[in-house]
Amino acid sequence: MVEQVELHRGLRDVFFDNTESSNVIGDIGRLIYRGYDIHDLAEKSTFEETVYLMMYGALPTQKELDGFDKALRASRAIPAEVLTIIATIKDAHPMDVLRTALSALAAFEPEVDDVSHEATLRKGIKISAQAATIVAAHHRIRIGEKPLDPDSSLNHAGNFLYMLLGEKPDDDTTELMGKDLIVHLDHGSNASSFAARVTASTLADLHGAVVTGVSTLKGPLHGGAAEGVMKMALEIGDDANVETYLAGKRERGEKIMGFGHAVYRAEDPRARHLREGSRVLAEKKGEPQWFQILSKVEEQMRPYAERGICVNVDFWSGSVYYLLGIPEDLFISIFAIARVPGYVVQILEQQKANILLRPLLQYVGPHDLVYTPIEQRG
């Protein structure tokens, strides 16, 4: 007989550890990185500084930031062999290419199996820089262009846009991309960071744990919504069509992309920083209709906010990427570029007080079956 046990399906209500890195307070829509509100960081900080804060636990002095930024810039190049691997599988989904290339980087990492704090941190800084290079290089290769060398005069966000699109972005655009990366950096026990921790908990190496994170982020229940929002905006086409479009969706009982979140019951605090950027960018690009359409969708959806179905981060990030001329199938990869340093932070935290993450399954299958020879089966 099977003893009945309490099941925690999805583990939604189970705390598996303490953290000092990020805190998602879903009911009031707050996101905290190491004690700092995401709004302060998005408005006042830079991506480099925020990554430093997350990896080292405190905001850097100018000297510390300079050293860290220098290390990041110096790490951007990827081995020619990894570029060859990317070219070999160039027609695959960008997330499959990113996952494969990150995995291959392990082959060129002399400290690959060193799970000490120092080595993991060194490798973590490097892979955070390299992830952006992989995504950009893959895109160049698949459109028949030569991958561009990183430009060390540009910061992480600016250099990524340059390597991806072949043009140095202006300051506003660089800043907007930096904000986007800041707000996507970490998010409590999200599924992909948790999966990366499970891998790290066996004392597997950093590259393996980051690969796990990227594998997990690819799933539509996790990383996949920004793509859908812009598809919706394109389907709507004009802000005069918003009401009819939403009414049709409601009638057919279909979900509206970019609304609702597993944790937030209030407005996703990450959305507002991309909303303003999207507005400015749409004006600048001479395509204000996308901002108008999405604003109207947001306005029409306001009544649902009371039921906790609010705008999420994907709602505005999709239009930002679109206006920057980034193809839709790269949207998750940009999320990944921002989240890779977040995985590093959580992997470091897991290693610091490691315990193997191994929950239980309740066996409810058959018992004591007798093995019959194959001739006797029918």
> At its nearest, how many Å lie between a copy of itself and the CB of residue 14?
5
Task: Determine contact, residues 344/124, Cβ cutoff 8 Å.
Answer: yes
Residue 19 within binding range of a copy of itself, rule CB under 8 A: yes
Can residue 27 be called a binding residue for a copy of itself (CB under 8 A)? no
Task: Please report how close the Cβ of residue 146 comes to a copy of itself at its closest, in angstroms.
Answer: 19
Site string (317-356) toward a copy of itself, x via CB under 8 A = --------------------------------------xx
- What's the rounded Cα separation, in Å, for the pair 64 and 156? 17
- Asked if 10 is part of the footprint of a copy of itself (rule: CB under 8 A), the reply reads yes
DSSP tag of 311:
B
Residue among 203 and 234 whose Cβ is closer to a copy of itself: 203
With respect to a copy of itself, which residue has the nearer C-beta, 21 or 319? Answer: 21
Closer to a copy of itself by CB, 220 or 308: give it: 220
User: Out of 49, 227, 239, 268, which residue is the one contacting a copy of itself (CB under 8 A)?
Assistant: 49
For the bound state, the minimum distance from the C-beta of residue 169 to a copy of itself, rounded and expressed in Å, comes to 23
* Residue 26 binds a copy of itself, judged by CB under 8 A: no
Q: Report d(CA 260, CA 168) in Å as an integer.
A: 35
Tell me which residues in 82-101 interact with a copy of itself (CB under 8 A): 84-85, 88-89, 91-93, 96-97, 99-100
Nearest to 78 by CA among 207, 183, 169: 207
Q: Which residues are catalytic?
A: 222, 261, 314
325 alpha-carbon distance from chain centroid: 19
| 61-82: b (≥16 Cβ within 10 Å) or e | eeeebeebbeebbebbebeeeb
Of residues 207-236, those binding a copy of itself (CB under 8 A): 207-209, 211-212, 215-223
Q: How many residues bind a copy of itself (CB under 8 A)?
A: 105
Residue with tokens 């220098």: 70
Give the 3-state secondary structure of residue 94. helix
Residue 36 in the binding site for a copy of itself (CB under 8 A): yes
Residue (76 or 187) nearer to a copy of itself, CB: 187
Cα 245 from chain centroid (whole Å):
29
CA dihedral 36, 38, 44, 48 (to 10 degrees): 90
- Burial bucket for residue 58 (CB in 10 Å: 0-12, 13-18, 19+): exposed
Instruction: Out of 60, 147, 277, 318, name the contact with a copy of itself by CB under 8 A.
Output: 60
Structure tokens at 65: 């930031």
Q: Which is nearer to a copy of itself, 186 or 239 (CB)?
A: 186
Q: Scan residues 120-179 and list those touching a copy of itself (CB under 8 A).
A: none
- Complex with a copy of itself: residue 187 or 296, whichever CB lies closer: 187
- Minimum distance from residue 99 beta carbon to a copy of itself (Å): 5
Which letter does DSSP use for residue 265 in this model?
S
Interacting stretch for a copy of itself, rule CB under 8 A, among 153-161, 197-205, 285-293, 311-319?
197-205
120, 201, 317, 319: which one binds a copy of itself (CB under 8 A): 201
Q: CB of 357: closest distance to a copy of itself in angstroms?
A: 6
The continuous run of DSSP H or E covering 276 comes out as: helix 271-284
CB of 247 to a copy of itself, least distance (A): 28
1 sits near a copy of itself (criterion: CB under 8 A): no
Query: Considering only residues 244-303, where is the footprint of a copy of itself by CB under 8 A?
Result: 262
CA 179, CA 277: separation in Å to the nearest integer?
9
Give the integer Cα–Cα distance in Å for 9 and 138: 38
Q: Does 110 bind a copy of itself (CB under 8 A)?
A: no
The C-alpha atoms of residue 349 and residue 167 are separated, in whole angstroms, by 37
Strand partners, 311: 259
Element (H, E) at 43: helix 38-44
